[in-house]
Amino acid sequence: MSRHEDALPAGFDEPVFAEPWQAEAFALTVALHGKGLFSWSEWAEALSAEVKQPGAACDGHDYYEHWLAALEKLLSRKGIAGKGEVDELAAAWERAAHATPHGKPILLENDPGL
């Protein structure tokens, strides 16, 4: 085997996700598919519809924002979690994050609104 055959491709050591929430959205999508809540073709259709929306960034920097929007809409369309429920839970996590001391794990029970 030559030295070139075992070399990693350019950019391989760069992070795959720019932000932790992107990795979490990706993992959640894979897990929900694994539970049988939607097929890959349903997922591909939902994501494609979001990415094709007017105003999508040409450089793709907003790809995971579209990913998350597609997941939320798909879950709502299937009656799993409506937009209001998702928004309420997101707000609870936001409040919990603000109420959590720096360096401590963010737990939903830290939400002062609960």
Residues of the chain with pLDDT under 70: 1-9, 11-12
**pLDDT at site 33:** 96
* The pLDDT value given to residue 9: 67
- The SS3 of residue 107 is coil
Burial class (CB in 10 A: 0-12, 13-18, 19+), 74: buried
Mention every residue, 6+ apart, whose C-beta is less than 8 A from residue 51: 63, 66
pLDDT of residue 114: 79
Are 95 and 113 in contact by the 8 Å Cβ rule? The answer is: yes
Position 69 scores a pLDDT of: 92
pLDDT for the residue 74: 94
Q: What pLDDT is attached to residue 39?
A: 96
In whole angstroms, give the CA distance from residue 33 to residue 54.
27
| Predicted pLDDT of residue 4 | 54
